[in-house]
Amino acid sequence: MDGVNKELQAEKKALRSKILAARRELKEAYRQKASQRMIDVFCALPDFKAPKTVLCYASMADEVQLKPLVERFLAAGVTVAMPHVIGKGQMEAVTLASLDNLVEGEYGILTPDLAKGKVVPPEQLDLIIVPGVAFDTRGERLGMGAGFYDAYIAQAVNAKRVALAYSCQLVADVPMEEHDVLVHKIITEQGIYNCLL
């Protein structure tokens, strides 16, 4: 690892620690209220009504709570897929007919039961709800560092990428590498950011 890359990794690590700490400090009631607000705003946009196939994720306790959004997609007849880890830095999208079909997977994260779903090719996705630790208003994103989403999104060439994030996750500048993928839109409890790609 050269000096520049080492410095960038250190920057990312420091920012990740700072934002994760801020996100963990949010009160549970605030998380619930803010999550519901973001989902209501998102569901009023054409981005919610347009997709036929969407990749979502099962939220961890301190993330924006997406369960109501998944339920709305399913009720609207949208094909919902969630990530399933298949190897180091690799994932696939597996369909989810019901939230009851989630099982514990890698890193203690809920994942679709493979016996009850099927793999969706990345190019079939219309929309990806992208998780992240930090974002800036240009759409630059800092993930958890394993590279699952960057590698996968690069193959999902037809998908619009939207992030729902708490306002404490918005920063002035996200340190980026060549392989890091941007998002098209960020929705926080305080506003919508259409990012310039």
Distance between terminal CA atoms of the chain?
29
15 marked ligand binding residue: yes
Q: Residue type for 11, please?
A: E
Establish whether 31 is an annotated binding residue.
no
Whether 7 has a binding-site annotation, put simply, is no
- The verdict on whether residue 149 carries a ligand-binding annotation is yes
Residue 68 has which token pair? Answer: 């109501």
Query: Residue 16, annotated ligand binder?
Result: yes
Number of residues that this document lists for the chain: 197
Phi first, then psi: give them for residue 160, nearest 5 degrees: -80, 140
165 is in an annotated binding site: no
145 annotated binding-site participant: yes
The answer to whether 142 is annotated as binding is yes
177 is in an annotated binding site: no
According to the annotation, is 144 in a ligand binding site?
A: yes
| 143 has binding-site annotation | yes
* Adjacent-strand bridge partners of 161: 128
Q: Which residues contact residue 131 at a Cβ distance below 8 angstroms, ignoring those fewer than 6 apart?
A: 57, 63, 143, 149, 163
Output the known binding site for substrate: 63
> Residues forming the annotated binding site for ATP?
12-16, 141-149
Q: Which residues are annotated as a binding site?
A: 12-16, 63, 141-149
